[in-house]
A = this chain, B = another copy of it.
Amino acid sequence: MRKTSKNLREIVSAGGMARVMAAHDPLSAILVEEAGFDGIWASGFEYSAAMGLADVSLVSMAEHLNNMRHMAERTSLPIVADIDTGYGNAINVLHTIEQYEAAGAAAVVIEDKMFPKVTSLVEGGRQDLISIPEFQGKVEAAVSARKAPEFLIIARTEALIAGRGEAEALQRARAYEAAGADMILIHSKQKTPDEIESFIDNWDGEVPIVIVPTAYPQMTEARAKSLKKIGVLIYGNHAIRAAVTGMQQVFARIIEDGGIQNADADIVPVSEIFRLQNMDQIKLDEGRFLR
């Protein structure tokens, strides 16, 4: 069942815009695939949240990596792995890339924040960036460490998040492309797409842009496609938000009702979980191999 790492590069260069949905465990990754998305975002934010921890570099690389490996084992979509700052400096990046590629990722996103990072969308969060040359060194390390040329290095600049303005965002994006990045992820926490659209209008590089329209839901896929330079659109945290919503509602109902007599009808039956777990295959295998 282990997937062959698909070529996200092909998907993108075929002119399409890949829609990539966040996941926080292998089951949510399976659901992403079944729903019809083009890729899985192995999100650091979602995984931290699933662990009950703030997204401030508390989760170890080994833990996020292991979770991503299990996603890759159970799905066939390309996985875009969120490696935050690369878990240290350029030396760490060499190790990190080697590990994520071997574990089945199709791409990584590495960001120009200072380690340890603070999650991007929180109000009043500390947002320190490292220098352009230092981050170029990290991108070069990532490019140097990959084995397969179709493994994508996506450089993420947090210049807009950090309030550095569009000019610096463009300067950083150009510098990261020059260092070898295959795509540029530009993040924004504005409530409208204006900031992002202006950046994209003024983007004069060759490589495609990646966006994460969490704060500005007006950015539909149709609108994003009309911008023409967008290679990947990442839905960054909707799996964990949907899961929390589902659990909060069902838990409240059970507490209120003093039982599952009503909640039972609101949720998928146990047999649906069996299907997602491939229990039918287990029964076939028992028939073949158990004596």
Contact = CB atoms under 8 A, between A and B. Distances in A.
Contacts of A36: 255
A163 interface: no
A73 interface: yes
A16 interface: no
Nearest to A72: B102
Number of copies: 4
A144 B254 CA distance: 37
Contact of A247 (B31, B237, B257, B260): B31
Contacts of A94: 285, 289
A244 B270 contact: no
B54 A247 contact: no
A261 B220 contact: yes
A277 B220 contact: no
A21 to B, nearest CB: 7
Q: Is the interface of A mostly helix, strand, loop or mixed?
A: helix
A91 interface: yes
> Chain A, interface size: which category?
35 or more
Most chain B CB inside 10 Å of its own CB: which residue of A32, A122, A133, A247: A247
A1 interface: yes
Contacts of A289: 90-91, 93-94, 137-138, 140-141, 144
28 contacts: A21-B251, A25-B51, A25-B52, A27-B49, A27-B51, A31-B248, A52-B70, A53-B95, A54-B281, A58-B88, A58-B91, A60-B60, A60-B62, A62-B63, A92-B116, A93-B289, A122-B279, A126-B290, A133-B291, A217-B264, A219-B259, A221-B259, A223-B259, A238-B260, A240-B273, A241-B270, A241-B272, A245-B267
Given A26-B51, A242-B247, A248-B268, 4 more contacts: A49-B273, A90-B289, A144-B289, A217-B259
